[in-house]
A and B are shown apart, each in its own frame.
Chain A
Amino acid sequence: MLFPKEMSEVELIVPSKDLVAVTKALSGYGVFHQVDSAHLGQQEGLGQNSWQEKAGALSAMERRIQAIMQNVGLPEDRPAKAGIESVVDLEAIQPSVNRIEAEVKETSDQLSAERKRLELLESQLHQLEPIADVKVEVGALRKSSYMHSILGVIPAANISRLRTSLLRVPHVFFVLREDAQKPVVWILGPKSNSDVLERAAKSAYLNPLGLPDEFSGTPEQITAMLRRDIESSRQKISSLEADLVKFGNTYKAELQKLLWDVHTSRVMADAIVRFGQLRHTYVVVGWVPTADLPDLTARLKEASREILIETMRTSRSGHHSNVPVALTENKWLKPIQMLVGTYGHPSYGELDPTLLMAFTFPLLYGAMFGDLGQGIVLFILGILMHNKIIMKGMQSLGLLIAYCGASAAVFGYLYGSIFGFEGHLVEEYLHFHFEPTWISPMENILSILSIAIDAGIIILLFAFLLGMVNNIRGRDWAHLLFGHTGITAFVFYICFLAMLGGFLGDTALAPRVAVAINSLPLPFTTLLAVFGLAVMFGGFLRNMVEGHTLIEGRGVGGFMMFLIQSLMDLIETVISMLSNTLSFIRVGAFAVAHGGLSLAIFSLAGHEPDLGFWITIVIGNLFIIGFEGLIVGIQTMRLHYYEILGKFFHGGGMQFEPLKLTPSKEEASS
């Protein structure tokens, strides 16, 4: 749960005779992420291209069958009895496919030729319709001695630009047909400007009408002739389509079986192409979630008695950019996974921050929006959304709102706040006793701010530690020692907190954690100086550990520039540590602001508990839930993305994409 699923690398040595059965087992259950191992095979003399050729031939055959099915209007459904027998013998099915194709082809070719003819006729009719009532010989337009005429279709978006481009040329411009797809325009100008008109028309992508020279007479006469041809063409098409439907009914079962056999064979052949071929065996490499390994191993042994299976659990330590990452699926954590996912996909070995965020997100939200009544309203709203009773399609968000609402209700109980009523107001208006069980933010402003910073410091220290855990697991020693979230930075942060504790001393705002650290008998000033230097020259020290060029970009600006850059790194680190720490003050500030906003509502409502008072309180509460609830959500997200996740989470993992013959595991086993 804390980490992506543990993966095992699987290497198989498969006897040639069991190749297909093993491939079937591997591709049928959706747990095997294949790695291309073709390079592990021997290079010559084994006919290694035969599977590649077979995969190509199967793919071509699959396309042919699909084309036939498309022609006869059959959907590409699975046959009633869809099993995975073996890789089909193309030569065996070739005669069946050829026979059906030949029968269908003649009709289908006639149909497609007739459709093209119909399209042409309709296009010609479409072009002529806008000028159907113009009593002019079409041929005369082409043969005018003084006027240059262009009649054609143009992209609708280009019409106004074409008009603009002709502003300085005498012309007449008609849009004969307003059509979003293919408007027809007619430009007429003096013959002396024909070159300008042609250039403008061409650059506006105006395509002159393609009426054949044999068309003569007025547009009305031509359109009447075209309509007759179109009618006869449509009848011919209907008859050909009926013939194809008959073919479809006759060959439905046969075609569906052929397609299924060829499709599964093609998927298996594609997989085999990426196996390494030896003289009598094949080498197969891939990744399987360790938990699924026993099941897969049993199936593989069932498929081949002589198969050699070597599995290696992949430790999560070290750098494993090549290991696919499969995350644990848990419907209760889905909204949190969604939040993490927008930041990045965890890499293998890296801590999956979902569980941590599942704890801190509602916690920080509740601390900022602590109100028993409003929290319960949010909780109910979230449950209704999650169960698709309202706002369907937002189930995940509903669950997140429910978590945050529950946390807000708990903090409301601790703060003694219910629908904005606090302290004596509860007794006065709601007639029951409700005291803060922990602290009232409005009455202890500095204390709640200090507690917020304390909580922030603890979360940041924890995030630093998680960052170090990730570095250790990734064996990234340079960053573990001298990275921005490494040991040096961590100790420097501790010293920095001690200084902060010492500086704020016994003031009410002083974070207790910082004061406690300062009280430890350690020479923090000296440590701060030493680790400050280590932070300052972190880049240099990291390069030293990793064996890289010590100073990047050396020679530019000389040693002084390097010193200045290092000093700037130190200043940046100090500023970021201070801002990261103080950033959590917003948690306390929002808890106080929540009380303040409620007071503002009470000021508007007045003192008398009449109808107006209660209406104002209800509207005010709805406003707080909607407006403040949203702002607090943004702040919580901000704290996680900026201050917490960045300390230890990098993302960038490769997704687990298992080999699948069928869409799901369930289907495969059915």
Chain B
Amino acid sequence: MASGVSGYAAISTRVRAMYSDLLTPQEITRLSDSPDFASLVSALKNTPYGKHISGLKDTDLTPRRVILQVRQRLADSYSSVVQQAPEQTRPLIKQMYRYFEVGNLKAVLRSIQTVSSWNSDVAAWDRVREVLFPFGSFASIPAQAMVDSGNIASAVDLLKGTPYEATMSFAMKRFSTEQNLFPLEVALDLAYWRGLWGEIKNLTGRDREMGAKLVGSLLDLNNLMWVIRYKIYHKLSEEELINYTLPFGYRVKDEDVRAIAAGSDIAAVVSRIYPGIADVNALLERPQSGLPKLEHQLKQQVMKQCVSAFIGYPFHIGLPLAYLILSDFEVQDLVVLIEAKSSKLKDEDFRPLLLKTSMIQ
């Protein structure tokens, strides 16, 4: 216990302070009430995101720039937590942070694949950089050089020496025959989550227990949505579904994934794992609109797990992990709001997409 207290003294205090800076559901509601994008930005300036946004000149107040600044706060949170986390847990936090780099890598690869259809007046990199997560000094991929290389094979060559080299070397064989990014993206996802789970297995005691609970819940969400989407949209075979999913998690077990892959009723499996989610059948009847709703409810389950981590004994990795996950969800909500307000969406079109509702306190 003493090592837990000594290791987590500073970070628990700091994370609790940062946790109290997260937006409340009421604040999210107030932000959603902003009549337009300009009012939303003005309201955001009065929140803890204000200091990130206030540096933008009026001419830079585009939705993309504002989203970048909002994400910058999440990046700052990760840097802060990584620096203060006990030595043995840093690899886990860093691996968790890599989620955004994996996202950047996918965005870079997609841009290379589609760059020929873009307007050539604007340099490819200038367009791509705006949508990348501000990964800062943790970045290991040479994003600009990859975009500038102009083709997937040369771009992947530039990943030598990065954590993605081995994964991509296997996946590239498939890309070269299929000319499709799907195998690359799936391989990156699987490697990322396997790495994350491996880092949890390296922990001990309460750290391992809390890590498995929180990261496992996130993994459940992804694993379940993968198998359902691959089955419904991609019509993949049983053996492919099994190979494109993972056999571990917190509540979703390998048997559940295999049952869906083998053709069991998806709604029955989901209802058995998450009895609290109502009308799964109805959601799956119309997958186009139902699957996002299902994913939304699964994310809210993860949020509840995260909020519960702040109750009870505080000296473990659960608090920083929960805070980072909640921050990420908060940023997702803000991105929804920024895009909704800038596209002038109706309330009923975007409000149901918000994660932080009064249900999650």
Q: Which residues of A contact B (CB under 8 A)?
A: 153-155, 157-158, 160-162, 164-166, 168-169, 181, 196, 199-200, 202-205, 207, 321-322, 342-343, 347, 548-549, 552-553, 555-556, 565, 626-627, 630-631, 633-634, 637-638, 641-642, 646, 650-652, 654
Contacts and interface: CB of A to CB of B under 8 A. Distances in A.
Interface string B1-17: 01001100110111011
Contact of B167 (A155, A204, A343, A637): A155
A652 B247 contact: no
Q: Is the interface of B mostly helix, strand, loop or mixed?
A: helix
B344 to A, nearest CB: 16
Contacts of B14: 342-343, 637, 641
Interface in B21-66: 26, 29-30, 32-35, 39, 42-43, 51-52, 54-55
Nearest to A553: B33
A343 to B, nearest CB: 8
B243 A162 contact: yes
Contacts of A203: 236, 239-240, 243-244
B124 interface: no
13 contacts: A161-B243, A161-B247, A165-B242, A181-B166, A196-B237, A203-B239, A205-B170, A205-B174, A321-B54, A347-B51, A549-B42, A556-B33, A627-B2
Nearest to B258: A164
A81 B194 CA distance: 52
A143 B205 CA distance: 54
Nearest to B83: A342
Contacts of A638: 13, 16
A190 B318 CA distance: 49
A198 B238 CA distance: 13
B252 to A, nearest CB: 15
Pick the 9 closest A-B CB pairs, nearest first. Answer: A553-B33, A652-B51, A203-B243, A165-B242, A200-B239, A165-B239, A203-B240, A556-B33, A205-B170
A168 B238 contact: yes
Contacts of A347: 51
Nearest to A152: B173
Given A555-B35, A630-B9, A631-B5, 6 more contacts: A168-B262, A321-B54, A321-B55, A634-B9, A642-B17, A642-B20
Interface in B76-109: 80, 83-84
Contact of A204 (B9, B32, B173, B243): B243
A155 B239 contact: no
Contacts of B174: 202, 205
Residue of B17, B29, B243, B254 with highest tally of chain A CB at under 10 A: B243
A637 B247 contact: no
Interface residues of B, number: 52
B171 interface: yes
B170 A155 contact: yes
A201 to B, nearest CB: 9
A205 B9 contact: no
B187 interface: yes
A567 to B, nearest CB: 13
Contacts of A631: 5
Contacts, number: 114
B237 A207 contact: no
Nearest to B171: A205
B191 A161 contact: no
Interface in B165-211: 166-167, 170-171, 173-174, 183, 187, 190-191, 194
B51 A200 contact: no
A94 B83 CA distance: 46
A164 B166 contact: no
Given A342-B10, A556-B33, A633-B9, A165 B54 contact: no
A549 B10 contact: no
Contacts of A204: 243
B264 to A, nearest CB: 14
Nearest to A180: B166
Nearest to B8: A634
Contacts of A160: 247
B166 A342 contact: no
Contacts of A552: 30, 33-34, 39, 43
Given A202-B174, A207-B173, A641 B17 contact: yes
Given A205-B171, A652-B51, A199 B84 contact: no
Interface in B235-262: 236-240, 242-244, 246-247, 254, 258, 262
A642 to B, nearest CB: 6
A553 B34 contact: yes
A256 to B, nearest CB: 25
B13 A200 contact: no
A200 B6 CA distance: 49
A203 B32 CA distance: 43
Contacts of B12: 634
B10 A637 contact: yes
